[in-house]
Structure 1
Amino acid sequence: MPAFDEAAIDRMIADTQRPLDGFAELYEQVLAVQGFAQDAEKLVTVECSTQGVTALDINPRALRWGSDKLATTILELIGASLADLQQKSNALMAERWGAAPPDLTKEGNPAELRLQNAQGTYDRAMENAMAELARIHRRVDGS
């Protein structure tokens, strides 16, 4: 039975954390993204963030459209602003992960495979650690 290798445990922990390097910064950047949309006449402007609609600017001239057209325009612009937000967020993630963010819902995705690998490495390390503790315990009891 090999001796307990503390350096191997440290390497394993570092390897499992490496994919998360920069994730907190990326998360903050995505939270700061603002989506923007404006009608063709530039009378209604909508901004959205991950919190929802953060700004709605209606020029008084847009009030002449009537409530139906104004409501429809606002709803369309909210959708467009959210789409802009999504596009900008995707662009940020693509900078970090390549052309497209990994599909975390797909079985066998890279994150899942890394997690399974890390779990296997952790399990083996714990088995080795427990075996080493048992060996030490036997040695102590035998002395």
Structure 2
Amino acid sequence: GGRTLQSDRSSIKYWVEDNITITETASGRHILNMAGYFYYRKNYGKNFTTWECEHRRYRQCLAIVIRSSDPNVKNNFRIYSIQGEHTHEPTPDNIDVRKFKQRVRERCKTEVANPRTIYEDELKKGKYSREMLAVIPTFYNMRE
């Protein structure tokens, strides 16, 4: 038998099953993206993964903790519980920025084209709004 994980009633508002994505950083770490908030994987075990709000590292937003299934198991990702409340607003544009960066990184790994050419090609393909272009990193700031 395993432990039963329960969510706080006030935390349920962050639980948006149809809008969950997992992206990778340049170093290969996973980031859980849900409802405009971002969570870094803190630790994981055989049956669960614990995520914390990205702002927790800087002593902000101390309360949010999510428990989920293993993000590496495709088509079977589940949220088990959410505890705490965010102390900041969501940043939904950041998911598009992270997806853009991940696409550029993936293409750089698999294609022989110049990385700058890949970056510029992805910018053209995206048809991004003016607001989005303002937050997409420049080619030289693509490290993270």
Question: With structure 1 as the length reference, what TM-score do the two structures score?
Answer: 0.25
**Between Structure 1 and Structure 2, which shows a larger proportion of helix residues?**
1
Question: With structure 2 as the length reference, what TM-score do the two structures score?
Answer: 0.24
Question: Which structure's relative contact order is higher, taking Cα pairs within 8 Å and 6+ residues apart?
Answer: 1
Structure with max Cα Rg: 1
**Between Structure 1 and Structure 2, which shows a larger proportion of strand residues?**
2
